[in-house]
Structure 1
Amino acid sequence: MGYYTGIESISGCGRVWCGTISYRVGEPFKWDVFTSAGVGTGIALFYLILNWRYLAETIKAAVGKLSEARRSEIEKNEPIPYRTSYLLLLIALVLSIILWIIYGLSAAPIAVIILVGLINAIAETRTYGLVGFVAPAGSWFGYGPYKLVLGDGLDVKPPSVEWVRAFTWAHFTGQSAWMTGWGFPLISSLSSYKMADLTGTDSRSVFKVVLVSSILAPLVAVIGIIWAFYTFGATRLPGAGWISWSHILGRAWPENVVTRPAYKPWVPHYIAGIITAGLLTFLHARFLWFPLDPIGLLLATDGHALIEGIWTTILAAYILKSITLKIGGSKLYEEVGIPAVSGFIAGYLVMTFIGGLIFLVRFFVPF
């Protein structure tokens, strides 16, 4: 009997998420822990370690320990001075901590919220910046650190109020940026700055737009969803299952998160993932011929990458690129291959935009 014997009896995405033998939570790899949590953490951690000199220099610039000439040089293309950046970050962090304290959380879960959210955001942004796909995506790894400081909640019936309140945050801090994760603002804003760089737009103008959007968007979203609840009813809204109390309860009740991030023991898998990411990062940076990268490992085994079969897309792109280069060389690739793919992507975006408008109209005027 193999590790995944009987997995065919589980339907759909359950083969990735559910039961005791699915890819994400089952032995021997427990991919949700080893790669999404461990390798994801390693990608963020070792990226910070490799760039510690740059980070240290920005801090020196913020506290006035850097020469004026050097400070002006490194801040030349930045939308705001590093001092202002760190000040805004500190203010946001303090306000968030105050809100969590009012919410009823103690120091340990607050620290976990901050660390997990930071690690996930950095890993997702790094992955998206290099390959254009968000990973870790659809991960439950945030539950691991929460359980390390608060326990699994199974020994107390019912669980403490703080346990439930803390775990309502676990899903959001470790989730995909495109769903409910906290990495989206970082990814979207940095994408805006990249587009500004490509088009020659002043980064300060982008910062103003991002800042105003960051203030207005949450207000509009909260006001809009409250209005929709009272106007149509929560269960009648698209995606009602994602906003219902039962969905939240399923992510913050001990018996419902036994497999999150995986069945015990999972800590060794987590540590092994971090070490693996560090080793691959070192080898990839040290030896030009070394082909493996921790981001590739993460992409191959991450939750949504498995569900959506990302490897098939990558394989198809590789085959088409190889055939194009073999037949017509770089000229055919640049003159036909790239424009064809760009046109496909543009067409898909137009189709998605039109479909979204039709969906919006259909909700209010059924047809």
Structure 2
Amino acid sequence: MSEKEEKALTPKFWAISIILTALFAAWSTFQSGFMMYGGLMFSMGQNVVGMPTGALLLLGLFFLLTRVVPELTRISRKQILVFYSMIAVSLAHAGYFVPWCYYNGMIGIRTYITDWDAHIPTFWAPPKEAVEPMYLGGLPVDWGSWIVPMIFWSAFFMTLTVFALSIVSILSRRLVIEQRLPFPFGEIAANTVIYSLATEEQKRQQIKLFSIGMVLVFLYYVPWWLHLGWPSIPDIYGWYSPPFGGFFPGQINLENLGGALPCARISFPFAPFLWAWFYLLSMDILLTATLTWLLFYVILPPIAYSLGLFGVGVEPTWRATVWKLWKPGAICYLGFWPAFAIVPLIIGYKYIGRTIRAAIKGEPAGPNDLMSYRMAYILLIVSGVAILAFYMVSGGGFITSIWGILYIIISLLAFANLRGEAGMLICAHGFCGWFQPLWRHVLATGDVSLAVAQGPNYSVPIYLTYMTTSDIHYGTVGGKLAYGLDALKLADRLEQDLRGVFPAMIIGSLVAIIVSTPIVLWSYYTIGFPRVPIHGDGIWWPNQLWPSSMNSSPSPFEPGGHGPYAAFGFGLVTLLYLLRLKFAWFPLHPVGLYLGGIGPWFPTGAAAPIALILKYLTFKIGGTKLYEEKGVPLAVGAFIGFTLFLLVGGLISIWRTFVPA
């Protein structure tokens, strides 16, 4: 680090960074709880496809400020890196899932799904009589009843942060430096910083295209959020009427084309932020995702139906046939997904061996290391033991708790590779399936009383693990790992060392915990639990403990069920990894299998062919030069424009919560 960069991290810089982080953590918490169209999607800090929209929004605002106040370009790259690291990890916590859904779940268990009430210790949530007043609103917060649960969950969240960041430190050199994985959102952050600090003369064309992309995508969403805020304004896009629907506004569902393609599931996202993101992915990933989507959801299901493979008298709809009989969920979530954790780990065993030897020898951290390997492994072991203690002190059995922690590790390893290759952070719906073998004999009966009779040995580990890793719930650990790796990619692109980055991440997580939890409790006591838009998850998440809910997820242990599909998916990913090791020219990428196969709720597969065509045309017309000098700035600007839309949409949503139209 140069003397100039060393002096950049002054006490004044740290104080300003912490204050700004606290303010934006508060904003993100409010927005994710009150956002229209579901806090699930439009949280500033996280999103169903795992985008660090809050941190990138700040970089977008910084770009706009530098156009007005050119003196801001004097801010050092080191300061931007450290602040980004702090705010990204912070907003991974202060978003939709954490802290809202943890506390929602506790309230739901105490007041709604009372079968599990006796399993939940009082240091998770106060008794039912202390929780019920939250339904009324207009009351002061009962801090006395919640202080112990607040301490427990805060300690649990911070321990998981340390656990995730220790894995980041161990894997970062291989993923960021040796393999040079693209980390698309790290690239978006880096390009935004570069355009912000450059003068018009230095990168005139790139800055112009970046600005055009930003403005166009922002304007694209204006009619929608105007209609949300002022319903009298016509919904010119028609996103609330068929054939539109789904998680993504602008997702058009064509289903089976009116029966022309029996059992097909065709949906296209009219979402430029998805196209812009995918445009930055490699051609082999886009090609594989396109082929997987076409085969899984468009081509093979009608063929199987016409051949009678789905049986006689089955409706020619996707839901009645494909998900239950074709089982793409089992292939993707039980097969593809764990392979992204295990196969790269086996392939890179020599690297892991080097890190262990470096830890034993006590080698110091290098400029591209978050910390020394010895410190990383010490933190990994200590935090892992602490997590086990949290499980067991809450009532979980030793074996079931170990199984849950092992699943967290597998999740983080999969997240790291998916994030690095494609920017993805979507967990496996098959979590329930792989977590079931220890109590499958209970769940197979569908008898709630048998599951309840298992006591906390069943409910505590499965609830903690499910809420920590499954589905979209990466704010607890996966998001901090992903955003941490994004920050290290940013450091690599900006040619900065990592001094100050780890403390910034720890501070960011701590600030988010301190700021967000009181906001959640204040909202429920003051506004009233039923009147906070995100309160419905107080029923949804604890309901996943019920055997009927658990059994609805694909499991490799069902009689005559998903085992072969899981094995096929795992084997296919393994085969593609090995072929790419053997043949540099091999055109298919294993990550593309997951990107194209995880639909239909996440229309990532259908977005791949659009991005593939755009990228192919770019290279066909102007080659690499056209892509790097014009395509990338336009795509990066388009995504930043989406984050600016979220800012305006969030303001309108919060306002309309308190001032209805």
Range class of TM-score, shorter chain: 0.7 to 0.9
After TM superposition, list the pairs within 5 Å mapping 1:215-234 onto structure 2.
215-234=510-529
CA drift of 1:98 comes to: 0.9
After TM superposition, list the pairs within 5 Å mapping 1:274-285 onto structure 2.
274-285=570-581
Change (3 A) 1:220 1:317: same
Separation in structure 1 between the aligned mates of residue 416 and residue 346 of structure 2, nearest angstrom: 16
Q: Does the 8 A contact of 1:3 with 1:21 survive in 2? A: yes
CA drift of 1:208 comes to: 1.2
SS of residue paired to 1:117? helix
Report the more deviating stretch, 45-54 or 160-169: 160-169
Separation in structure 1 between the aligned mates of residue 335 and residue 370 of structure 2, nearest angstrom: 34
Change (3 A) 1:241 1:358: same
**1:127-162: CA deviation from partner (whole Å, max 9, x where unpaired):** 121112334x4x322212321112243446341223
CA drift of 1:81 comes to: 1.3
Change (3 A) 1:164 1:22: farther
Separation in structure 1 between the aligned mates of residue 608 and residue 407 of structure 2, nearest angstrom: 29
Name the residue aligned to 1:6.
315
Name the residue aligned to 1:77.
368
Q: Does the 8 A contact of 2:310 with 2:325 survive in 1? A: yes
Name the residue aligned to 2:607.
313
Separation in structure 2 between the aligned mates of residue 58 and residue 208 of structure 1, nearest angstrom: 22
Amino acid at match of 2:484: S
After TM superposition, list the pairs within 5 Å mapping 1:142-157 onto structure 2.
142-151=431-440, 152-155=442-445, 157=449
TM-score (norm: length of structure 1): 0.84
Counterpart of 1:299 (choices 595, 598, 615) is 595
Name the residue aligned to 1:184.
479
Report the more deviating stretch, 348-357 or 90-99: 348-357
Rg bigger for which structure? 2
Q: Does the 8 A contact of 1:144 with 1:261 survive in 2? A: yes
Separation in structure 1 between the aligned mates of residue 655 and residue 355 of structure 2, nearest angstrom: 48
Separation in structure 2 between the aligned mates of residue 89 and residue 41 of structure 1, nearest angstrom: 21
Name the residue aligned to 1:92.
383
Q: Does the 8 A contact of 2:330 with 2:565 survive in 1? A: yes
Runs of at least 5 residues in structure 1 that lack an aligned partner in the other structure: none
**1:316-365: CA deviation from partner (whole Å, max 9, x where unpaired):** 12212222333344444344323322222221121122222332343344
Higher relative contact order (CA 8 A, sep 6+): 2
Change (3 A) 1:292 1:332: closer
Change (3 A) 1:213 1:7: farther
Q: Does the 8 A contact of 2:425 with 2:474 survive in 1? A: no
Separation in structure 1 between the aligned mates of residue 650 and residue 635 of structure 2, nearest angstrom: 23
Name the residue aligned to 1:357.
651
Counterpart of 1:322 (choices 606, 616, 635) is 616
1:61 partnered with 2:347: no
* Cα RMSD after superposing both structures: 2.5
Change (3 A) 1:200 1:116: same
Name the residue aligned to 2:205.
none
1:140 partnered with 2:429: yes
Separation in structure 2 between the aligned mates of residue 271 and residue 154 of structure 1, nearest angstrom: 21
Change (3 A) 1:276 1:131: same
Change (3 A) 1:99 1:229: same
Q: Does the 8 A contact of 1:172 with 1:182 survive in 2? A: no
Amino acid at match of 2:547: P
Q: In percent, how many aligned pairs have the same letter?
A: 26
SS of residue paired to 2:443? coil
Separation in structure 1 between the aligned mates of residue 335 and residue 468 of structure 2, nearest angstrom: 15
Separation in structure 1 between the aligned mates of residue 494 and residue 571 of structure 2, nearest angstrom: 39
Change (3 A) 1:360 1:179: farther
**1:235-284: CA deviation from partner (whole Å, max 9, x where unpaired):** 22122222x1x213320011222221246422332233222222221111
SS of residue paired to 1:239? helix
Report the more deviating stretch, 192-201 or 356-365: 356-365
Counterpart of 1:33 (choices 317, 321, 330) is 330
Name the residue aligned to 2:552.
259
CA drift of 1:84 comes to: 1.3
TM-score (norm: length of structure 2): 0.48
Separation in structure 2 between the aligned mates of residue 328 and residue 47 of structure 1, nearest angstrom: 35
Report the more deviating stretch, 308-317 or 90-99: 308-317
Q: Does the 8 A contact of 1:21 with 1:27 survive in 2? A: yes
